[in-house]
Amino acid sequence: MAKYKVGDIITGCVTGIEKYGIFVNLDEFYTGLIHISEVSNLFVRDVNDYVEIGQTIKCKVIDVIDEENHLKLSIKDIDYQIGKKKLKKVEETEHGFETLEKMLPKWEEEKLKELQEK
Q: Are strands 70-74 and 31-35 parallel, antiparallel or unpaired?
A: parallel
Asked, for residue 45, whether it belongs to a domain, the answer is: yes
pLDDT at 93: 66
Count of domains observed in the chain: 1
Asked, for residue 72, whether it belongs to a domain, the answer is: yes
Asked, for residue 97, whether it belongs to a domain, the answer is: no
- The 3-state secondary structure of 47-86, one letter per residue: HHHCCCCCCEEEEEEEEEEHHHCEEEEECCCCCCECCCCC
Asked, for residue 99, whether it belongs to a domain, the answer is: no
pLDDT at 95: 65
**Is residue 11 helix, strand or coil?**
strand
pLDDT at 1: 45
Measured CA to CA, the distance from residue 99 to residue 115 in angstroms comes to 24
Asked, for residue 109, whether it belongs to a domain, the answer is: no
Asked, for residue 37, whether it belongs to a domain, the answer is: yes
* CATH code at position 14: 2.40.50.140
Task: Write out the residue range of the structural domain in which residue 15 sits.
Answer: 9-87
Short-list 86, 73, 78, CA closest to 36: 73
pLDDT by residue for the chain (118 residues), tens only, comes to 468 999 999 999 999 999 999 999 998 889 999 999 999 999 999 999 999 999 999 999 999 998 888 999 999 989 888 765 555 555 666 666 677 778 888 888 988 988 888 7
pLDDT at 2: 66
**Has this prediction a pTM greater than 0.75?**
no
Asked, for residue 104, whether it belongs to a domain, the answer is: no
Asked, for residue 96, whether it belongs to a domain, the answer is: no
